Structure 1
Amino acid sequence: MSRPTTGGFTKTEGWLDWFEAPSRPRFVLPPGAVDAHCHVFGPGAEFPYAPERKYTPCDAGKAELFALRDHLGFARHVIVQATCHGADNRALVDACVSSGGRARGVATVRRSVTEAELLALHAAGVRGVRFNFVKRLVDFTPRDELMEIASRIAPLGWHVVVYFEAQDLPELWDFFTALPTTVVVDHMGRPDVSQPVDGPQFGLFLRLLREHPTIWSKVSCPERLSVGGPPALPGRLAAGEVPYADVVPFARRIVEEFPDRVLWGTDWPHPNLKHHMPDDGLLVDFIPHIAPTPQLQRKLLVDNPMRLYWPEVAC
């Protein structure tokens, strides 16, 4: 049954609801693991969706997110502002404040944001801003405005999260490398995994990471990148099956070459998926295939996100 969206909003046709009964992962997360990329949607009756949004999701609020965190075995999470809420960060802030210190946030802000508003976001747990360059999801924001925002958040110790598609990296390269903060790339820059891992497209992204040590990467969202599709059996893996196997070589290459600059997250509740909705338990079971040793797993899931989002605890 499709979940309702409250507050007078109607969910975008074709949008899939989040997986209702995620499996319990076989992979046991290391103590203190962080889900470093997830979202909250509304609920619309309390936190209305933005008039300029490109889609309307089903409601997926903090209570459901916290329950998933506990079910999967995470200790903390990083909530990234969803484009359906625009620059209205109230749902994000409410979830961070309600987490008891177990959540940090990545907000969306405009040039008009005041210093007082930035400080209030910081007090609530925000530690970064997101710049979205995926044209089907957001309208164009002038780069001079984005650079101004980055310069204003740098003194707070925040970072910039960027979301783009692989074919657009050449035109974005100079902008990304000029940003005055740490830069975190969402989902490996969305590579085309039907191309070779040693091919020119992914090679350009690896070069970006090699030449610019302030740039990090999330190795998340295999369900968005996979050409082979989801596991054959809904909710469980067949013997010897690797979930989203065609994405593994790309993510593993990044984890092994840049172990101190990688993050991982579920992307729950998986915005704007229309073909299949992943089982979040099986997404966790993807992790040991891309971070095959306990040392790499701890860096990916604990050390790196703690250093970036909870430095006062990590040190």
Structure 2
Amino acid sequence: MKFEKTPGWLDWYSGPTKPRFKLPAGAIDAHCHVFGPGEEFPYAPERKYTPCDASKHQLYALRDHLGFSRNVVVQATCHGSDNRAMVDALVNSNGKARGIATIKRSISDAELQELHDSGVRGVRFNFVKRLVDFTPKDELMEIAARIAPLGWHIVIYFEAVDLPELWDFFTALPTTVVVDHMGRPDVTKPVDGPEFQLFVKLMREYPNIWSKVTCPERLSVNGKPALNGEQNAYQDVVPFAKHLVEQFPDRVIWGTDWPHPNLKNHMPDDGLLVDWIPHIATTAEAQKKLLVDNPMRLYWPEEVK
């Protein structure tokens, strides 16, 4: 089946630089996606966008180029609750990938077990209205209760302005909860301002809540960075991510977000994204926790001594 890419959608950058920052041994890209390819894994009829294809082979080639050892593949909204592309990436990873699925309440226990056996370790709840249609909270809570016995966690994606109305739901979830992209803070506002500090309060008061300190290319308002050598990109996002890494060193993880869904202003160089890491995790100890220890506890706990 042929799919026409959404107008304005940028293809992922095919010539990433080799990072200057040397990743610690065993580093994990804990947030990335696969798209299709559409002819093999059709995009969902209810999708809000049609992406470029981004295959498992291309993802794992990027993993090796950047120096990561493993990946966590997050179900993309363009595939809806059809997890086949993501699962295919997991089962063809030689044990080097785990996954986050999107599921509906109609899923059977046998289907949940099949996802677990393939390497899925969590589900994603998306509250970004421009990307998905609203799912009733009672359905999401039912799903949360069903995955808890599997040891899975919940990934939540929302925007900072919506946190007050979502607070009670998030704090009632019965599992570990991982927030995508720091809750998408407005980086033109101060780190110590009320909006971002509400998110900090959420993490401080609820020790089951973690954060991905990810997507500076999505949050920055500094404009398009130069490719191939620009080492100071996305500096306006650094104070937010650095604050979380320092305040909650055992509950932060990082990932590329490749192939960078729905970006329209510029497509980042993934090598430069890796070089952004030491700006937010400034010591070898913090870098190892962020990139190795923390994601291993979440996704490969059976290997953690």
TM-score calculated relative to the size of structure 1 = 0.96
Give the distance between the partners of 2:190 and 2:60, measured in 1 at CA: 38
Write out per-residue CA displacement over residues 22-60 of structure 1, whole angstroms, 9 at most, x where no aligned residue. 000000000000000000000001100000000000100
Which residue in the other structure is 1:180 paired with? 174
Match of 1:23 among 17, 20, 41: 17
Provide the alpha-carbon RMSD of the alignment. 0.6
Give per-residue Cα distances to partners, 1:276-311, cap 9 Å, x unaligned.
000000000000000000000000000000000000
Distance 2:16 2:188 in 1: 28
Equivalent residue in structure 1 for 2:273, among 279, 283, 298: 283
Alignment match, 1:48: 42
| Alpha-carbon distance, 1:68 to partner | 0.2
Measured in 1, the distance between the counterparts of 2:13 and 2:229 equals 13
Aligned to 1:304: 294
* 1:242 shift after superposition: 2.1
| Contiguous gaps of at least 5 residues in structure 2 | none
Shift of 1:235: 2.0
- Residue 234 of structure 1 and its aligned partner are, at CA, apart by 1.9
CA distance in 1 between counterparts of 2:27 and 2:234 reads 22
The alpha carbon displacement at 1:219 in A equals: 0.2
Deviations 1:195-216 (A, max 9, x none): 0011000010000000000000
* Distance in 2 separating the partners of 1:94 and 1:236: 34
Cα distance between partner residues in 2 of 1:172 and 1:111: 20
In the other structure, the counterpart of 2:253 is 263
CA distance in 2, matches of 1:214, 1:61: 33
Deviations 1:149-180 (A, max 9, x none): 00000000000000000000000000000000
Instruction: Quote the Cα distance in structure 2 between the aligned partners of 1:248 and 1:86.
Output: 32
Aligned to 1:236: 229
- Length, aligned pairs only: 305
Q: Given the alignment, which residue of 159, 163, 167 partners 2:161? A: 167
Distance in 2, Cα, partners of 1:62 & 1:54: 22
1:229 Cα offset (Å): 2.4
1:191 aligns with 2:198: no
**Paired amino acid for 2:123:** V
Deviation string, structure 1 residues 128-165 (Cα, Å, up to 9, x no partner): 00000000000000000000000000000000000000
Could you tell me how far apart the structure 2 residues matched to 1:314 and 1:248 are?
Answer: 30
In structure 1, runs of 5+ residues without a counterpart are 1-6
Whole-angstrom distance in 2 between the partners of 1:15 and 1:200: 34
CA distance in structure 1 between the partners assigned to 2:52 and 2:196 by the alignment: 34
- Equivalent AA in structure 2 for residue 270 of structure 1: H
Task: Tell me if structure 2 keeps the 8 A contact 1:36–1:263.
Answer: yes
Q: CA deviation at 1:243?
A: 2.0
1:230 Cα deviation from its structure 2 partner: 3.4
Match of 1:4 in 2: none
In the superposition, the TM-score normalised over structure 2's length comes to 0.99
**1:118-133 correspondence runs (5 A):** 118-133=112-127
Q: Which amino acid aligns with 2:204?
A: R
Of 101, 109, 119, 1:115 maps to 109
Q: Which runs of 4+ in 1 moved over 4 A?
A: none
Task: Measure, in 2, the Cα distance between the counterparts of 1:109 and 1:139.
Answer: 14
Secondary structure of 2:155's counterpart equals strand
Deviation at 1:99, TM superposition (A): 0.1
Tell me by how many angstroms 1:314 deviates.
1.6
Q: Does structure 2 conserve the Cα–Cα contact (< 8 Å) formed by 1:50 and 1:84? A: yes
In the alignment, which residue of structure 2 is the partner of 1:253?
243
Q: Distance in 1 between matches of 2:95 and 2:224?
A: 34
Query: What is the SS of the residue equivalent to 1:286?
Result: helix
Instruction: Trace 1:215-226 onto structure 2 (pairs within 5 A).
Output: 215-226=209-220
Matched residue SS, 1:285: helix
Q: Give the one of 82, 90, 93 matched to 2:84.
A: 90
